[in-house]
């Protein structure tokens, strides 16, 4: 019951999706479409799981006055204020992306700067890390470094000012050797994915049930 | 007025995050935790507004007959997913996971064969009439050889593997260059906001 | 020798400060450099340009604030290009938190068009010339499902207006009614559009991608699985050049150039310091 039914569900759904690829006619076509809609709906529920565990741990921290509980309070307040504002905006404007609504105020002036700046920090870290770790110790490392330099200069306007051929060399690197390696990697990943998917459908791979 | 208030809030949060560059501090921690709380609320609201409401509640009101009641199936599977909250019956969530895993695996097989494997191999079947074509074909094969661990890396395989490493290093170097470009772009975006929208240093 | 010791051990905060300055100065002084348009971006431009007037272009917002500075200028330029060619635009997205960027860009571009419009036919109207379907979870399942019928997933638009009440959507049922798909990508949604809409249903696709994603798109370009590629802020600047509407892409390229030079300078310094110190240690 605990293992057999999930394995049967995986087998059936996987086989139906593969078979309907080859035979999209009725009634199989409709069956596939129904499964795809169900997948879309069920996947939405998983979001709730992640949020619940996050909020639960912060609530516990506040209740127990654990070290840093004040920050957990910020998480909870941020969550509650956004929820209330969102629901209010949704009811008032019929949408959660109506520009000018209070909910979009939070989005524009809080979510956007916070997310964007978090990622912008990486510019500084990548600069520092490159200075510290990017060493031409071996032939491979030198190759990596030289390619990075060609791309970094050839891809921006100053590259052409330094040497007019640099952009063309950059284009060639991206379109021939870089692309060849990526293609090799993607073909390998595709074969791995196909093998793993088959193992999942046939019930040989069961780690998702643990 | 709201625009001005918003700009100041955004600027304050931007500087709070940037303050981490000096060292970890309460301003950064505040902004970081606010980000987590607000994002979590967004995730829930968007799930409700763009999934549960239009795909289930609205549909249930619109549909008639069997189509209406069949919507109970994904509802039950969705609710089963939430049984993870209750340890005694959390094993039921496996049914919902099994449904998504089965469908994703089925789509994965057909998608990878039709969308990656065949067109990418077809793109490599080129006449050996130019240096670029030769480099391309050698690069693809050598990269595949590098990742082929089922045989001992000796003789021709070792040679192919070494060549594969050369191509992979070029690819990683190129990816690094592009990643630097991406990260700098984000920094430009934030500084642009501070200079233009907040400080009005430039019109 | 003290000099080499110093360049081998530069404090990280000096690196941060230097980077901040080289990015800030060109932004403040609005410095610009001429932009060279690369082939993949020109191909993307031509894919939109060569469509018959009034074609249906579907734009997928698959990014969020973490990639907005790179991709938003692409979206603005693409929308300007589409409306200049009188194409109709259907907007959707695989990243829920990016949806408002679609709305913001659409509001900006439609306001520009409507200000300049002389006749009602020149103006850009919601429902007739563009539609925002919003977001549904499911990604690959959604992409395959849309190949059969859009209404199975999007019975209504993001404001809950039934799609059949929107003139543009009345003739759109599946990918056969879509002339071009524009994927704006910060993750793996682009790969999935290519697999599940491109390969399976033959949809013509162009991709606008962040710098992190763009290198993983060249093999699709060579295999003609995508018809054009706009990579990173430089790609955005190139597209702005093509539509003759400078924006944050072009404005950012001097800062981008200087930052790259600085970073390479630091890498060289790091290597010089490292090799000098290593030689000293060996001797």
Once rounded to an integer, what is the mean pLDDT over residues B32-42?
94
Q: Which two tokens stand for residue C48?
A: 């939109």
Q: What is the DSSP letter of B71?
A: T
Query: What residues 17-56 of chain B have any CB closer than 8 A to a CB of chain C?
Result: 21-22, 39, 42-43, 46-47, 50-51, 54-55
Which of B9, B84, B184 minimises the CB distance to A123? B184
pLDDT at A144: 95
CB distance from B190 to chain C under 8 Å? Answer: yes
B31 neighbourhood in chain A, CB within 8 Å: 114
State whether B132 and A176 contact (CB < 8 Å). Answer: yes
What value does the mean pLDDT take over residues B148-154? Answer: 84
Contacts of C141 in chain A (CB under 8 A): 35-37, 39-40, 43
Tell me: the pLDDT tens digits for A19-66? 999 998 888 889 999 999 999 999 888 888 878 888 889 999 999 999
- ipTM of the complex in this document: 0.93
Q: Which residues between 72 and 101 in chain B have a beta carbon less than 8 angstroms from any beta carbon of chain C?
A: none
| Residues of chain C found within 8 Å of residue B110, distances taken between Cβ atoms | 200
Note the pLDDT of residue B64: 87
Helix C39-49 with C232-242: angle, nearest 10 deg: 50
pLDDT at C277: 87
Q: What is the mean pLDDT of residues C159-178?
A: 96
pLDDT at site C120: 86
Please name which of B63, C90, C158 lies closest in space to residue A34, comparing C-alpha atoms.
B63
**Would you state the torsion angle of the CA atoms of residues B40, B44, B45, B50, taken in this order, to the nearest 10 degrees?**
130
Question: C168-171: which pairs have CB atoms within 8 A and are 24 or more residues apart?
Answer: C168/C56, C168/C88, C168/C90, C168/C127, C168/C128, C168/C129, C168/C130, C168/C131, C169/C90, C169/C131
Q: CB-based contacts of C59: which residues, under 8 Å, 6+ apart?
A: C75, C78, C79, C89, C90, C91, C92, C102, C181, C182, C184
pLDDT band at A210 (very low <50, low <70, confident <90, very high): confident
Give the pLDDT band (50/70/90) at residue B27: very high
Is the predicted pLDDT of residue C281 greater than 70, yes or no? yes
- The per-residue pLDDT for range B46-56, each reduced to its tens digit, is 988 998 889 99
**Cα-only R_g, chain A:** 26
Of A32, A98, A123, the CB nearest to C19: A123
Provide the shortest C-alpha distance from residue A165 to chain B (in Å): 17
pLDDT above 70: residue C1: no
Domain ranges of chain A: 1-66, 67-126, 134-210
Query: What value does the mean pLDDT of chain C take?
Result: 95
- B134: CB partners within 8 A, 6+ apart: B128
C179-202: average pLDDT: 97
Phi, psi values for residue C89, rounded to 5°: -120, 130
Q: Provide the mean pLDDT of chain B.
A: 94
When comparing pLDDT for A12 and A94, which is higher? A12
Q: Nearest-CA distance from A164 to chain B in Å?
A: 19
| Across C212-224, average pLDDT | 97
Whether pLDDT at A17 is above 80? yes
Give tens-digit pLDDT for C55-103: 999 999 999 999 999 999 999 999 999 999 999 999 999 999 999 999 9
Nearest to C63 by CA among B47, B11, A116, A39: A116
Average pLDDT, chain A: 94
pLDDT at A76 over 80: yes
Q: Which helix (H) or strand (E) holds B12?
A: helix B2-18
Contacts of B168 in chain A (CB under 8 A): 181, 185
Least confident range from A68-72, B66-70, B130-134, C174-178: namely B66-70
Distance from CA of C9 to the nearest CA of A (A): 8
Each residue's pLDDT tens digit, A136-177: 889 999 999 999 999 999 999 999 999 999 999 999 999 999
CB atoms within 10 A of CB B43: 17
Q: What is the CA radius of gyration of chain B?
A: 27
A180, B33: Cβ pair inside 8 Å?
A: no
Is the pLDDT assigned to residue B63 strictly greater than 80? yes
Whether B37 sits inside 8 A of A188 (CB atoms) is no
Residue B134 has pLDDT above 70, yes or no: yes
Question: In this structure, how many other beta carbons lie within 10 angstroms of the beta carbon of residue B59?
Answer: 19
Q: Residue A28 has what pLDDT?
A: 86
**What value does the mean pLDDT take over residues A73-101?**
94
Residues B66-94 pLDDT 10s: 889 999 999 999 999 999 888 899 999 99
CB contact under 8 A, A10 and B42: no
Beta pairing partners, C58: C90, C181
């Amino acid at each position: 019951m605990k293992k057999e039914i999930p394995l049967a569900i995986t087998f059936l759904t996987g086989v139906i999706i593969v078979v309907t690829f080859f035979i999209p006619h009725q009634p199989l076509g409709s069956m596939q479409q129904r499964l795809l809609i169900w997948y879309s709906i069920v996947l939405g529920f998983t979001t709730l799981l992640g949020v619940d565990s996050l909020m639960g741990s912060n609530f516990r921290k506040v209740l127990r006055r654990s070290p840093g509980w004040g920050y957990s309070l910020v998480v909870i307040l941020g969550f509650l204020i956004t929820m209330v504002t969102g629901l209010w905006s949704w009811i008032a404007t019929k949408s959660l992306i109506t520009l000018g609504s209070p909910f979009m105020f939070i989005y524009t002036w809080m979510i956007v700067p916070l997310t964007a700046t978090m990622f912008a920090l990486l510019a500084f870290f990548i600069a520092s890390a490159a200075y510290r770790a990017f060493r031409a110790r071996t032939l491979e490392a030198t190759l990596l470094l030289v390619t990075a330099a060609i791309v970094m200069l050839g891809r921006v306007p100053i590259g052409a000012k330094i040497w007019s051929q640099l952009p063309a060399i950059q284009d060639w690197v991206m379109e021939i050797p870089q692309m060849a390696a990526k293609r090799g990697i993607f073909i390998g990943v595709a074969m791995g994915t196909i093998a793993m998917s088959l193992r999942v459908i046939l019930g040989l791979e069961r780690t998702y049930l643990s | 007025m709201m625009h001005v208030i918003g700009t100041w809030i955004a600027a304050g949060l931007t500087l709070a995050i940037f303050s981490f560059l000096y060292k970890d501090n309460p301003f950064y921690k505040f902004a970081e935790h606010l980000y987590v709380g607000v994002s979590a609320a967004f995730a829930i609201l968007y799930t409700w507004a763009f999934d549960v409401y239009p795909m289930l509640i609205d549909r249930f009101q619109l549909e008639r007959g069997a189509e209406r009641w069949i919507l109970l199936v994904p509802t039950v599977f969705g609710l089963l997913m939430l049984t993870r909250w209750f340890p005694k019956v959390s094993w039921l969530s496996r049914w919902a996971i099994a449904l998504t895993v089965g469908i994703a695996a089925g789509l994965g097989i057909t998608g990878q064969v039709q969308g990656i494997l065949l067109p990418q191999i077809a793109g490599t079947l080129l006449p050996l009439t130019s240096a670029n074509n030769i480099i391309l074909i050698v690069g693809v094969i050598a990269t595949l050889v590098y990742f082929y661990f089922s045989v001992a890396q000796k003789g021709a395989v070792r040679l192919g593997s070494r060549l594969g490493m050369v191509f992979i290093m070029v690819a990683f170097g190129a990816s690094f260059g592009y990643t630097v470009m991406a990260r700098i772009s984000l920094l430009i975006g934030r500084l642009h906001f501070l200079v233009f929208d907040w400080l009005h240093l430039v019109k | 020798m003290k000099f080499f010791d110093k360049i081998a051990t530069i404090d990280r905060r000096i690196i941060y400060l230097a980077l901040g300055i080289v990015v800030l100065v060109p932004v403040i002084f609005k410095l610009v450099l001429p932009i060279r348009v690369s082939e993949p971006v020109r191909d993307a431009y031509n894919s939109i340009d060569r469509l018959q007037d009034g074609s249906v272009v579907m734009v997928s917002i698959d990014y969020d604030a973490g990639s907005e500075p790179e991709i938003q200028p692409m979206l603005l330029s693409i929308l300007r290009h589409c409306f200049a060619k009188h194409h109709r635009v259907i907007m959707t997205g695989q990243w829920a938190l990016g949806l408002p960027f679609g709305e913001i860009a659409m509001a900006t571009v439609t306001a520009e068009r409507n200000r300049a419009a002389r006749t009602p036919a020149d103006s850009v109207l919601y429902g007739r010339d563009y539609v925002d379907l919003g977001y549904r979870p499911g990604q690959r399942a959604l992409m395959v499902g849309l190949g059969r019928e859009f209404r199975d997933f999007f019975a209504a638009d993001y404001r809950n207006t039934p799609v059949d009440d929107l003139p543009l959507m009345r003739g759109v049922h599946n990918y056969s009614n879509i002339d071009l798909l524009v994927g704006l990508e910060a993750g793996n949604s682009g790969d999935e559009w290519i697999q599940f809409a491109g390969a399976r249903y033959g949809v013509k696709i162009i991709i606008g991608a962040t710098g992190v994603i763009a290198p993983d798109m060249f093999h699709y370009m060579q295999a003609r699985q995508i018809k054009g590629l706009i990579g990173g802020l430089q790609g955005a600047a190139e597209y702005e050049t093509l539509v003759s509407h400078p924006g944050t892409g072009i404005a950012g390229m001097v800062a981008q150039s200087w930052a790259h030079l600085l970073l390479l300078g630091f890498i060289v310094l790091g290597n010089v310091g490292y090799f000098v110190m290593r030689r000293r240690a060996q001797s």
